[in-house]
Amino acid sequence: MGKKRKSVKPQYGDLIEVHWVDITSSSTGDPSKAVLARCITCGVFERYDKDKNGEEMLVISYARHDDEELTDKGWEAYPRSVVRRVEVVKRASEYV
The residue-averaged pLDDT of 11-23 equals 95
pLDDT at position 37 is: 94
Q: Are 63 and 72 in contact (CB under 8 A)?
A: yes
Q: 96, 52, 47: which is closest to 76 by C-alpha? A: 47
Name the pTM for this structure.
0.81
Residue 7 has pLDDT above 80, yes or no: no
- Give pLDDT tens digits for 21-67: 999 998 888 899 899 999 999 999 999 999 999 999 999 998 877 77
The residue-averaged pLDDT of 60-81 equals 86
The DSSP 8-state label assigned to residue 81 in this structure reads G
